[in-house]
Chains A and B, each alone.
Chain A
Amino acid sequence: MSVFGAVAIPRRGTAPSPPARAHVPGEPGLWIVLFGDIAVFTILFVVYLAHRGENAELFAHSQQALNRTFGAVNTLVLLSSSLLIVLAVRAYRSDQRRHLTPRLAIAGMAVGSCFVAIKIVEYHEMVAAGITPSTNEFYMYYFVLTGLHLFHVTVGLIVLLVLVGLARNTSPTLANVAFFEGGACFWHMVDLLWIIIFPLLFLVR
C-alpha cells in the first residue's frame, strides 16, 4: 500500500528507527491535526467546567446516573489498545520482529472496537432510562463530549485498519514507517482525550 507520502518524507533524511535527535513521530504536519484537535477539546472542557461551576448541584446529581463501570472499562480498553499499537510500531521498525506487526495491529484494533460496542450499550442504557441530550445541561455535555470522542474513535479505527494493511508490507519505505507512526499517534491522541473526558464527566466532584 503506497498511500500518503513518499514525496516529502525522504527529505528528512534520517532513518526513523533509532530515536535520533529531534525525531518527530509521523511527520511534522500531522501534529497540526493532533494539537488542533486537542485544542478544540480543551475549549470544550473549559466551557464544560465553567458551566459546571455555575450549576454544581445539578451536575453532581446528574453525574450519579452515569455508569462508572462502563467508563472505567472503556479506559482500560483504550489503554490496552494503545499499548498493543505501541508494540506494533516497535515491531514494524525492527527487521527481526516485523512479522508480528499485523497481528499486533489487528489485536489493537479488535480491542479498540470494544470501546464502540460498550459505548453503544451505555448510550442505549441511558436512553432506555429516559435520559437524552435535552434532559438537562449535564447530559447535553455528556452526550456531545462522548459523541464527538466516539466520532474520533471511529476515525481512529479506520486509521488502524489502514495500518493493518500497511503492516503486511514486509519491506516498508521510510514513508510507510512515518505513516504508521503517524496513525499510531492519532490513536494515542484518541486515548489521551478519553483519559481527560472520563474523569471530567464521570468522576469530578
Chain B
Amino acid sequence: MSNGQAMTRKQLDSLRARQLLTAWSGPVLVVLFFLGLVTFMDFVPPPSPMNSGEVTAALYRDHLLSMRVGIVLCSFAVALLAPWGASIAARTRRTETRFPVFTYTQLGCIGTGLMVAVLCFLIWAIAAFRPDDLAPETTRMLHDLGWFLFLFDVPPFMVWMIAIGLAILMNQSGRQLFPRWAGYFCIWIAVCEAPAVLILFFKTGPFAYNGLVGFWLPTVAFFAWVIVFTWLVIRDVNAEHAEAVVATTSAQPAAAA
C-alpha cells in the first residue's frame, strides 16, 4: 500500500527490498546462532548446572578457540534481532495510526531483549578470556550468569510476543496485519517461554537450565516463532508488492511490468 500516492516501479521495488532485507535477518540470525552455539560453543545440549567449577572451567580451557569463535558469531547473530523486529513493528505501526502503543511496546522490548542477549555473550566472552587465570568457581559464576541471561530473562520477550499478538487480534484499522491465527500463535509461544524462569529453582531435572522445560521448550519455541514470522512478513511483502505493481501498470499502461 502506497499511502494513496502513485509510486513508480523503482520505488515499489526499493520498498520491497528494504522490507525483505530486514525480514531475512531473521533466518540469518537463526543460522549464525545455531552455528555459534551448537557447532562452535558446543552448548547444545547445555552442560549440567550440577557441574563443578573445575569441569566448567575445563569447558572453556579445553576448547578455547572454538568457544571464542562461537561467542563472536552469536554476538553478531543477536544484533539482527533489531532489523528483524523492525520488519514486524513497522507493519504493526501501519495499523495503529493514532496511538501506536503496541508498536512502541515492541520497540522497547526489542531494545531490552537485544541488550540482554548481547550481554549474555559478553559474559561468556569474559569467561573465555582468561580461564587459566581465574579460580574455577569464578568461571562457573560467569558461565551461570550467561545461562541466566540466556534463559531467565524471558519476560521482555514474552511482552514483545504478546504485543504483536494483541496488535493482530485487536486490529480494527481495515489494513491487513497477518492472519488472526498468527496472533494466537504469538500468545502460545509467549506461554511456552514462561517456564524458563523455573531455572532459578532447580539444578537438575526438566526445569533446570539444561532441561526439557527449562531450555528446550523456550528455545525451540523462540526460533520457531522467528521462522514463522519471517515467512509471514515475506509472504505479505511480496503479495503487497505484486498488487501494487499491477495497480501502477494498469494506471500507466505504457510501463511494462
Tell me the A residues contacting B by CB distance below 8 Å.
2-8, 27-33, 36-37, 40, 43-44, 47, 51, 133-134, 137, 140, 144, 148, 151
Q: Once the chains bind, are A32 and B207 in contact (CB under 8 Å)?
A: no
Interface pairs (24), CB distance under 8 Å: A2-B172, A3-B170, A4-B169, A8-B179, A27-B180, A28-B181, A29-B181, A29-B184, A29-B185, A31-B184, A32-B181, A32-B184, A32-B185, A36-B188, A36-B192, A40-B191, A40-B192, A40-B217, A44-B213, A47-B212, A134-B201, A140-B202, A140-B205, A144-B207
- B111 CB-CB contact with A under 8 Å: no
Closest-CB distance, A16 to chain B (whole angstroms): 16
Chain B residue contacts of A43, Cβ below 8 A:
212-213, 217
Segment 168-182 of B: residues with Cβ below 8 Å from A? 169-172, 174, 179-182
User: Is B196 among interface residues, defined by CB-CB distance under 8 A?
Assistant: no
Contacting residues, chain A, for B191 (C-beta < 8 A): 33, 36-37, 40
- Known A32-B185, A47-B212, A133-B202; contact A6-B180, beta-carbon cutoff 8 A: no
Number of A-B contacts (CB under 8 A): 63
Point out the residues of chain B lying under 8 angstroms from A44, CB to CB. 206, 213
Asked if B181 and A137 sit within 8 Å, CB to CB, the answer is no
A137 partner residues in chain B, CB cutoff 8 A: 205
Size category of the binding interface on chain B: 20 to 34
Determine the distance from Cα of A136 to Cα of B206 in the docked complex, in whole angstroms. 14
**Nearest chain B CB to A38's CB is how many angstroms away?**
11
Assess the A144–B198 pair: CB atoms within 8 A.
yes
Minimal Cβ-Cβ distance residue in B for A155 = B191
Chain B residues near A2 (CB, 8 Å)?
172
Interface pair B206/A47, CB less than 8 Å apart: yes
Tell me if B187 and A33 are in contact (CB < 8 A).
yes
Please indicate the chain A residues that have their CB under 8 angstroms from the CB of B213 in the complex: 43-44, 47, 144
Interface core residue of B179, B185, B206 (most chain A CB under 10 Å)? B206
- Is the Cβ of A32 less than 8 Å from the Cβ of B205? no
Query: Are B188 and A4 within 8 A (Cβ)?
Result: no
Q: A25: shortest Cβ distance to chain B, in Å?
A: 14
Docked CA distance A7–B179 (Å): 11
Question: Chain B interface (Cβ within 8 Å of chain A)?
Answer: 169-172, 174, 179-185, 187-188, 191-192, 194-195, 198, 201-202, 205-207, 212-213, 217
Is there an interface contact between A33 and B217, defined as CB atoms closer than 8 Å? Answer: no
Whether the pair A33, B188 counts as a contact (CB closer than 8 A) is yes
Which residue in chain A gives the minimum CB-CB distance to B203? A134
Bound form: Cα–Cα A75–B242 in Å: 55
| A140 CB contacts on chain B under 8 angstroms | 202, 205, 207
**B192 (CB) vs chain A CBs: closest residue:** A40
In the complex, residue of chain A having the shortest beta-carbon distance to the beta carbon of B213: A44
Bound-state CA distance A34–B233 (Å) is 25
Chain B residues contacting A3 (CB-CB under 8 Å) are 170
Contact of B212 with A33 in the complex, beta carbons under 8 Å: no
The answer to whether B205 and A33 touch across the interface, beta carbons within 8 angstroms, is no
Other A-B pairs beyond A29-B185, A133-B201, 11, CB < 8 Å: A4-B169, A7-B174, A29-B180, A29-B182, A29-B183, A32-B184, A32-B185, A44-B213, A47-B212, A133-B202, A144-B198
> Complex: how many Å from CA A140 to CA B172?
44
